Amino acid sequence: MARPRPLQLASGTPRSSDYQNLTPRTPHSRAGRAEEAFSDIELTDIHEADEDYQSPQQQQSKPLLTSSRDGYRSRGDEYDGRHHPGMGQKRWTFARVVSLLPLILGVLTGVLLLFLIFASVQRPDTLHKIVGAIPPSEGAVDVVQPPAQQDDLVVSSVSPSPISTVQPSQHASSTTTHTANLENLISYENYTIFPLKPDEYRAECSKHNSGFMKHLGGFWDVPMHGPVDVPHEENDRVCKSTITYMLDGKVGLLADLALMAQVAAMARERNRTFFVDDTYWDRGKWADYFIDVRKSQPGEEPGCLPPPPNELVACPRGARHWVINSRTAKYHLGHPFSETYENAYGHGLHRLKPIFNMARESFSNTILPNERMRHLINVARDAFQKKMAGAGASSSYLGVHIRKGDRKASSWKYHGQYLPTFEYVSAVVNTWPRVSPPSTANPIDSIPSNPFIYLASDSPEGEREFTSSVHAENVFSLAGSQNPELGALASPMDYVQSEFDQLNLPERAAATKGMIVDFALVSGMWAADDGFAPEATICGISSSVCRLSAVALGWDRAFGELGSMGDIDETGKRWVEIDEHGTIVPVWQPFELFR
């Protein structure tokens, strides 16, 4: 059977209702390969052009498939479909913007550096103001160094300066300065009373330390633009360079002494004359309690006069006559001080040994009780020894210091609370067998079960609680003394610094004397030649008395034989801290800084 002839519709006209455009199912049908296919926009253009066929010839002559020669490759390698008429510009996406950020930042940084280079050449004074530095004087070729006496000064002490309105002409006929230029001068034009008040010195330090890059260089380095200071009046009788510790009445007695010990040590190291200023002290005069430091630490210029009070400068410490108090100490005795004076090669407590020795030397040679205070200390020692001898005991005892008032515990265990009495009692029970020397009076029982205790406390209530928890007959304190001269020195109330000024001056003076006597016996500081001192001291680290008790005991007795990493010797230590219990490293700090 013959195959029928194919149907020819060349002249046939289809009904529009029955006709459908045959379009490719995929772009691949119009191109030989995927990369040569038309895009969506191109296909749309083609569909719009082919929407209506005008004749059967066009319908039949339009192939369903297009040769690959008509695709992407047939248009040449230079064809760019992105610029096809009718195509929109490529949108800026977030990812593209982020990818260009390094380039943008680099360009901006380059522009900024170019501006700074231009400013450093054309307007160097403006650049100095931008970075907060003081520009050097014009025409200066070499960096101006401080005079020789700046670092080679003397250590002595002179009587404090009274509050006064300073007349410059009363000290000398001419005024000079060792600063590099006038812009380095400190102006006191807004003050009329000198020395300045403690908070005013703190404000001057805050002003000096504000700005950019103010803490570069070593502890004693002079800035590159020269020393910053006030004008000085020439007077050969005035000490060439000094360090003054100002007793400002803002902190407790022992807190002041701990800071003063370090300042006196720096004066010895720098050969600068050391002074104590008690103009604003709320406890009276320094000489009422301690030997004048110009006698105990005369230095290389004994007999020189103190500087005029209007020449004292709190910041920077490189000034010719530097003054420091408890409010400005934070600008000088912080991290830079530690970096300079700690043992950089030690671990733990080993790092603090140089600073410990600085404090001990100051208490041994500079900060010494006067004759009246030594008398009171000896009266208390004699009364305590007499009580011990009456009980047939040796001269060995423990020192216990209980601090309440405005000092709470430092540890988280008792955060916001006072250290409980049982902590002190437990420390006494555990410490005495470890440190007590064998008794010669009773060889069978070589360690007395009830040690004698010297109790120092600011709190009458705290003293009663402790005494009732131990063998009361073996406790000695100022409040419990039968000697009226000692009883008058007992603390009348819990010590709160903000309330201390409410007492009249005689009451404040008596409390100060009582604190000195308590500190001497509870720690062994300024011990007599007979060696009457505690075998150990029990206290809480939040108190300055506790910090300085370690200094009084001495390095080896206080901490025992330290390990290579600076760990305290738990069996050999005689400084028993019961607040943090050694959980904070280092376990001891030489002083406290205040705001």
The domain defined by 371-577 folds into Rossmann fold (3.40.50)
* pLDDT tier, 181 (very low <50, low <70, confident <90, very high otherwise): low
What burial class does residue 378 get, using C-beta atoms within 10 Å of its C-beta: 0-12 exposed, 13-18 middle, 19+ buried?
Answer: middle
Q: Residue ranges of the domains in the chain?
A: 103-131, 148-341, 371-577
Using CA atoms, how far residue 90 sits from 82, 83, 87, 207, 431, in Å, is: 8, 10, 9, 56, 83
Indicate the angle between helix axes 253-270 and 544-553, nearest 10 degrees: 50
Residue with the larger pLDDT of the pair 565 and 62? 565
Residue with tokens 């280079």: 117
Q: Cis before residue 438, ω within 30 degrees of 0?
A: no
pLDDT, tens digit, for every residue of 28-55? 544 445 555 555 555 555 555 555 545 5
Mean pLDDT across 97-121: 86
pLDDT greater than 70 at residue 180: no
Q: Which has the minimum average pLDDT: 83-87, 308-312, 355-359, 511-515? A: 83-87
Mean pLDDT across 230-258: 96
d(C-alpha 506, C-alpha 363), whole Å: 26
SS (H, E, C) 371-419: HHHHHHHHHHHHHHHHHHHHCCCCCCEEEEEECCCCCCCCCCCCCCCCC
Residue with the larger pLDDT of the pair 242 and 129? 242
pLDDT at site 153: 34
* pLDDT tier, 139 (very low <50, low <70, confident <90, very high otherwise): very low
| Cβ pair 241, 154 in contact under 8 A | yes
Q: What is the pairing mode between strands 242-246 and 232-233?
A: unpaired
* pLDDT tier, 75 (very low <50, low <70, confident <90, very high otherwise): low
| Cβ pair 485, 348 in contact under 8 A | no
325 closest CA partner among 277, 370, 386, 377: 277
pLDDT greater than 60 at residue 7: no
d(C-alpha 515, C-alpha 252), whole Å: 10
Mean pLDDT of the chain: 82
| Cβ pair 274, 264 in contact under 8 A | yes
| Cβ pair 201, 207 in contact under 8 A | no
pLDDT greater than 50 at residue 472: yes
pLDDT at site 5: 55
d(C-alpha 293, C-alpha 287), whole Å: 9
DSSP per residue, 50-111: TSS--SHHHHHHS-SS--GGGSSGGG-TT--GGGSTTPPPPP--HHHHHHHHHHHHHHHHHH
Q: Which has the minimum average pLDDT: 160-169, 248-257, 436-445, 488-497? A: 160-169
Q: What is the pairing mode between strands 536-539 and 175-176?
A: unpaired
pLDDT, tens digit, for every residue of 323-334? 999 999 999 999
pLDDT greater than 80 at residue 394: yes
